[in-house]
Amino acid sequence: MATACAGASPGPAVAQEQTLEIRSASQPFKIDDPSAKTIGRLVWRGGIMMTANSRHFGGWSDLHVTTDGKSLTSISDEGAWLTATIEYDGEANLAGLGNARIGQLHGLDGKLIATKAEADAEAMARLPDGSWLVAFERDHRIWRYPTLTSTPTLFDGPPDLGRQPTNGGIEGMTALADGRVIAISEEYSLQPGTVVGWVGTPGAGGRYQWQTFNYATIPDFKPTAITQLPDGSFALIERAFDVARGVRCRVMRFEASQLVAGGTVQAEELARLASPYAVDNLEGIAATKGARGETLLWLISDDNFNPLQRNILLLFELAK
């Protein structure tokens, strides 16, 4: 879901697969204090502002980083996918991206997705077999892709998936090592002060059994991404936007033990990002382990193809 006036979207139908040159500029952590390195429980490990030689580069709505930290995959709310290798500086901080490719997701008919109504991909997860789940809003559904360049099949999602607001569907989704899938809606609510989440458990014949939980929110902030941390707990991004204050994001965490059917998850705030700190319309999160065994959090933004917004990729270390 966009948080500001959308820019001149290039339209999804012609994002043909191609190599991509990503131009990276260093993203300051705190504009008015170059010596700053921490915010809340997060330690700055580098950030980049990204542009590329394709008008389809942008709108990045979720993020996956390989466990070795060497490459990433992202999806766009115009139906595009992105892959790239990650470059580091001499201190193992984020420095840039290379070897990038961009392409367009296919529909169930094998053709490239051609309309915004069909292309609004907002969340992704990688299953243990290497296949991908992609959650779309507007036309709420989850598709399963053997690879992001292949034809998908319809995934057995929650039965109440279609009850979500048109532009407020699943924004966060992650898959666990045992095949379970965790998903959270941005705006679908059954109880005041919460949004709906689901836990899907694989069963016979590849079908999933879904249980519902509630995720507690505060005014203005709604979840946009979720990932599992190396210790088994979960990290999320919550985002708020208004014209007066701009984009604000909370980085959150909760224990897996809170995922109880019918229960309410109460996440703790790790950090709150707002100007003058590095922030934009953050919609994707991933977690890996660093060389020292530290937990790393990766955040990516959706620029809405708006010249007033940016595509940024941020890297933080979770302080112990």
Question: Average model confidence (pLDDT) for the chain?
Answer: 95
Estimate the share of the chain in helix, then strand, then coil, as percent rounded to the nearest 5: 5, 50, 45
Is it the case that residue 107 has pLDDT exceeding 60?
yes
Cα distances (Å, whole numbers) of residue 66 to 136, 287, 295: 23, 9, 13
Residue 181 has pLDDT above 70, yes or no: yes
pLDDT band at 13 (very low <50, low <70, confident <90, very high): very low
The pLDDT of residue 26: 97
In this prediction, residues 243-269 reach a mean pLDDT of 97
pLDDT of residue 138: 94
pLDDT of residue 315: 98
Which parts of 90-135 fold into alpha helices (H)?
Answer: 116-119
> What tens digit of pLDDT does each residue of 72-84 get?
999 999 999 999 9
Chain segment 196-252, per-residue pLDDT in tens: 999 999 998 889 999 999 999 999 999 999 999 999 999 999 999 999 999 999 999
Tokens 């709420």, residue located: 140
Q: Is 215 exposed, middle or buried (0-12, 13-18, 19+ CB in 10 A)?
A: buried
For each of the domains in the chain, give its residue range(s) and CATH number, in order of start.
18-318 (2.120.10)
So what's the pLDDT on residue 55? 92
Task: Determine the Cα angle at 141 with ends 138 and 147, to 5°.
Answer: 120
